[in-house]
Structure 1
Amino acid sequence: MSFKELNLIEPIQKALKTEGYSEPTPIQVKAIPQLLKGKDLLGCAQTGTGKTAAFAIPILQGIHSEKQSTKGNRQIKALVVAPTRELAIQISESFRSYGRNLGLRTLVIYGGVGQNPQTKELRQGVDILVATPGRLLDLINQGFVSLKNIKYFVLDEADMMLDMGMLKDVRKIIAFIPKVRQTMFFSATMPTEIGELAKSILNDPVRIDVTPVSSTVDIIEQEVYPVDKGNKTNLLIHILKDKKIESALVFSRTKHGANKIAASLSKAGFTTEAIHGNKSQTARQLALSNFKNRKTRILIATDIAARGIDIDELSHVINFDLPEVPETYVHRIGRTGRAGLGGKAISFCDYGEKPLLRSIQKLTSKPIEEVTDHPYPLVDTTIKPKERSSRRPSTAKSSPSNEPKQKGKEAKNGKVRREKRANESKKTTSKKNEKRKNVHWSSR
């Protein structure tokens, strides 16, 4: 199928041709016709499936057709809310690219920078606003943004907003939007709270699931390296010496770990930067830009910081730490293999991470090739693996069978201590009384 068959207007088809797009992706084939009909949409799709174009193209076409019959100052007709600055910028760039021949104005606003340039743009009039929740709510409260004319509303990466604690702000924003609107809701996963939010803001939506999280992209070559935890950095340096690795996105479970890995690689002579929540917006954007432009060969990232990052022709994804949630593994490795180009995913697994690896293989229903022929093989198996459990760990210090005995022993010991303190108190009181008695008689 071609974009022409999706009944797109000529200016948008021309823009897509300029961008080098010839055939729509599965989510675009399913979503665009429904959105052009005005239907609400619930999309379960991860980054890299083409979902931005899936909602941007129908919005652009809808606003353009309405613009022909209306006159006056520009009012915000479409609002897209995204969790991170990086993702918001990418979405705004897509709107500008696909709508280059329509004469519409797109503005992106986000926190971490001064608001004056953004408010200046808002005063000049905007058709499409892309925003992160915090800055948007701030500018609404200051009176710089009015959402009373919104006809198209997109909530992108909703589950990431849940992870980042943004849902409270999102609900406040929704309260400013007209109830009569077309809503598009996208989330890579659908936890309970996200499902409830979707149900509350969507009206009889069409649901589209693309690339289920339980299936791994087949074109991605996957390998796992058993290695002791203390040798992971040495193994990473060894692997990155391979010149065939043109660019690598390395995942760390923690911010501190990301910084530590970046420092070790820089010391070893690699061009590398780290990106995570503790970095300033400016530093994160610069690191991402350097990586995209190939000025930096290796980017170290945490899951939240990397979520939504769309990088073309990424050759390798390396899991320095295995994720605790198996679905996250699929999201991580999906950042390579874009546009059918293939790619490779390498994972390190120490003995304590064995249960995590089993969970990943169970989810994907596919064994991952194990590579043992490397300089730092796994030798330390003395640490008992941490078994995954859906139940929260108990705070009890003893097993249920020993608990009554333990309590009885503690009660007995407590009674002895109380009796001892009482006897000591009696002795002290007696001495004080005797002293007062002697003083009394001596004064007579």
Structure 2
Amino acid sequence: RGGGRRGGGRGPPLSAAEQRRRADRKADAEASFFWQQVEFRRSAPDAARSSRVAHQRRGHEARLFGERGSGDGSSAPVAPVDAYDDIPVEVHAGSRGDYVPLQDFAKLDVDEMLMANVRRCGYAAPTPVQRHALPLALSGAGERDLLASAQTGSGKTAAFMVPMVAHAMRLQREGEPVRSRAPPPGPRDTPAVPPCLVVAPTRELAMQIAEEAERLAWDTGIRVACVYGGAKARPQLASLARGVDVLVATPGRLQDFSDAGFISLTGVRHIVLDEADRMLDMGFEPQIRRLVDSASSGMPSPADGRQTSLFSATFPDGVSRLVRDYTRGDALARVTVGRIGSTVGGIEQRIVEATSDKWHKLEMLQEAIAAVEGPTIVFTARKHMASWYRKQLLKGGRGEGRGSLSVGVEEIHGDRTQGQREVALANFKSGKSGVLIATDVAARGLDVDGVAHVINVELPTTSKDIDSYTHRIGRTGRRGRKGVATSFYVPGNEPKHGNADIHAPLLQLLEENDQQTPSWFLELPEAKRAGQRRV
């Protein structure tokens, strides 16, 4: 990707021509591998499972469901949802007509095999976005599009994935040609023609969504695949060669595989754009438009019966343009839970005055970690600071008698390889490590049960980035649980450190969620300049 060097970074840079030749050789090798895998699957489509494969399958089932794998849902943890009771909900069902809100997952009108997996996942009382978006998507398959906004951590994934798996199962049950499952007619027609597609901005979020899809699709015959950049292509290509009914993908890798002919979008009946605002922030609008535009990708249009859903916590102008251009306006249902861009009221938000000195912040971080028991995610704004804080926490800081932490510390950011990131996340999820330090790469989509505490060591420094605060603290207090978010606020406008520019939107978030606001925060010069001083 530009600036390539010989010998792992040693020697002169490669010429542009040599970089192209290497990229072409790599693309040719991947194509050869994929079509070999396709031919193998075609020649032995009904090969019996070996005992080894069956054993691996049982292990995968245990990893997916954990203690929830008893099959009756009795061991599933049910999160309290009382915290959502007072949150306002606005619903516009569109021209498709009325719908019946979902009051209990037990009342879902879906295939019994899917219902069994819903029970195993522990879903019981639906959150507000699930209560409305889920039945709207289910009842409007092929006829209604959906735009849903809810606070991060409020159960959006289940709100679109349950209808998506139900949609794929319905196509199977009714005998409609789900092209991803049918034998391709020609030697170079890909078997990966998914009827259901989810596009997400980051690999971490895509992996989280795919894992939930696998739980819901377990033993249904629905095949789930996940493709994302920053990882080796061959394992993903091998998965696609088996055929796929529900595909979860990041925009760049999906575009690459589609351009190479590994994936065909001509069979898509149901597409979900998750965290659409984040994808636009990351510059993916051209890829998204190319993917959903029928003339560019061959994907069926809304007029052909394609259902399009967009889910996110915020909806800026760019997302509104996508909605206008690629959904059926008259048949568009809208669900808004709370104020767009707000936070979950069940999170206790603590604002602590800090300086820009990293050693001072380190001492504050050690105290904050000790103050709240349970898994903790620490957010920094810069990759090298995430590594520095992890190193210092493992050493015990300045060595003033504190000692190192009694739990492991992991880090996730853009300078870590995909393998390192997956190991770090696995260690944090399993409880092997109790602290995860991350940049905003992990702020969206990470769904780890029981995160007790989020600490913002470095807050955003511009008001346009306040949404990152919302998404960061949304890693705790998920699905009605309680959580704590501690943020280190640096007064003033010191470059790269001062938080004065976010004072007004941060105060708004605190007040609308009835949070206790420190008096020092209300007496800051930036508060007075904005006319926000309180008596």
Asked if structure 2 preserves the Cα contact closer than 8 Å seen for 1:112 and 1:280, the reply is yes
TM-aligned CA deviation for residue 19 of structure 1: 1.5
Are positions 1:315 and 2:452 aligned together?
yes
- Calculate the aligned-residue CA RMSD, in Å: 2.6
> Of residues 293, 296, 316 in structure 1, which corresponds to 2:433?
296
Asked if structure 1 preserves the Cα contact closer than 8 Å seen for 2:349 and 2:510, the reply is no
The residue aligned with 2:353 is: 226
Which amino acid in structure 1 is aligned with residue 269 of structure 2?
K
SS at match of 1:335: coil
Which amino acid in structure 1 is aligned with residue 168 of structure 2?
I
TM-aligned CA deviation for residue 91 of structure 1: 1.0
TM-aligned CA deviation for residue 333 of structure 1: 1.8
Are positions 1:329 and 2:456 aligned together?
no
- State the Cα deviation string for residues 107-162 of structure 1 (Å, max 9, x = none): 11112222222222222211111111111111111111111111111111111112
Query: Gaps spanning 5+ residues in structure 2: where?
Result: 1-102, 184-190, 397-403, 493-498, 531-535
> Of residues 214, 227, 232 in structure 2, which corresponds to 1:114?
232
What are the within-5 Å matches in structure 2 for residues 29-428 of structure 1? 29-36=131-138, 37-38=140-141, 39-68=144-173, 69-70=175-176, 72-73=182-183, 75-175=193-293, 176=297, 177-179=299-301, 180=304, 181-204=306-329, 205-213=332-340, 215-230=342-357, 231-242=360-371, 244-268=372-396, 269-270=404-405, 271-323=408-460, 324=462, 325-352=465-492, 353-354=499-500, 356-366=502-512, 368-369=515-516
CA–CA distance in structure 2, aligned partners of residues 232 and 386 of structure 1:
23
TM-aligned CA deviation for residue 328 of structure 1: 3.0
Asked if structure 2 preserves the Cα contact closer than 8 Å seen for 1:47 and 1:310, the reply is no
User: TM-score, structure 1 length as denominator?
Assistant: 0.79
Query: Gaps spanning 5+ residues in structure 1: where?
Result: 390-444
Task: Give the paired residue count.
Answer: 380
CA–CA distance in structure 1, aligned partners of residues 243 and 470 of structure 2:
41
> Per the alignment, do residues 214 and 145 of structure 1 end up closer, same or farther by CA in structure 2, a change over 3 Å counting?
closer
Which amino acid in structure 1 is aligned with residue 300 of structure 2?
P
User: Based on CA coordinates, which of the two structures has the bigger radius of gyration?
Assistant: 1
CA–CA distance in structure 2, aligned partners of residues 213 and 127 of structure 1:
32
> Per the alignment, do residues 319 and 182 of structure 1 end up closer, same or farther by CA in structure 2, a change over 3 Å counting?
same
Which amino acid in structure 1 is aligned with residue 434 of structure 2?
R
Q: Which stretch shifts more, 216-225 or 291-300?
A: 216-225
Which amino acid in structure 2 is aligned with residue 65 of structure 1?
R
SS at match of 2:433: coil
Q: Which stretch shifts more, 220-229 or 208-217?
A: 208-217
TM-aligned CA deviation for residue 385 of structure 1: 6.0
The residue aligned with 1:392 is: none
The residue aligned with 1:409 is: none
Asked if structure 1 preserves the Cα contact closer than 8 Å seen for 2:476 and 2:482, the reply is yes
Counting aligned pairs with the same residue, the percent is 39
Asked if structure 1 preserves the Cα contact closer than 8 Å seen for 2:151 and 2:341, the reply is no
Which amino acid in structure 2 is aligned with residue 70 of structure 1?
E
Asked if structure 2 preserves the Cα contact closer than 8 Å seen for 1:251 and 1:302, the reply is yes
CA–CA distance in structure 1, aligned partners of residues 435 and 420 of structure 2:
15
Asked if structure 1 preserves the Cα contact closer than 8 Å seen for 2:161 and 2:213, the reply is yes
- State the Cα deviation string for residues 190-245 of structure 1 (Å, max 9, x = none): 11112112221111211111243454423222222222222111111233244x42
CA–CA distance in structure 2, aligned partners of residues 168 and 387 of structure 1:
42
- State the Cα deviation string for residues 311-340 of structure 1 (Å, max 9, x = none): 110110111122233343332222211233
Q: Which stretch shifts more, 65-74 or 244-253?
A: 65-74
CA–CA distance in structure 2, aligned partners of residues 370 and 227 of structure 1:
15
CA–CA distance in structure 2, aligned partners of residues 2 and 21 of structure 1:
9
CA–CA distance in structure 2, aligned partners of residues 40 and 55 of structure 1:
12
> Per the alignment, do residues 16 and 182 of structure 1 end up closer, same or farther by CA in structure 2, a change over 3 Å counting?
same
> Per the alignment, do residues 148 and 253 of structure 1 end up closer, same or farther by CA in structure 2, a change over 3 Å counting?
same
CA–CA distance in structure 2, aligned partners of residues 123 and 272 of structure 1:
38
CA–CA distance in structure 2, aligned partners of residues 317 and 334 of structure 1:
8
CA–CA distance in structure 2, aligned partners of residues 76 and 327 of structure 1:
32
> Per the alignment, do residues 147 and 215 of structure 1 end up closer, same or farther by CA in structure 2, a change over 3 Å counting?
closer
SS at match of 2:300: coil
User: TM-score, structure 2 length as denominator?
Assistant: 0.66
Are positions 1:7 and 2:144 aligned together?
no
Asked if structure 1 preserves the Cα contact closer than 8 Å seen for 2:151 and 2:343, the reply is no
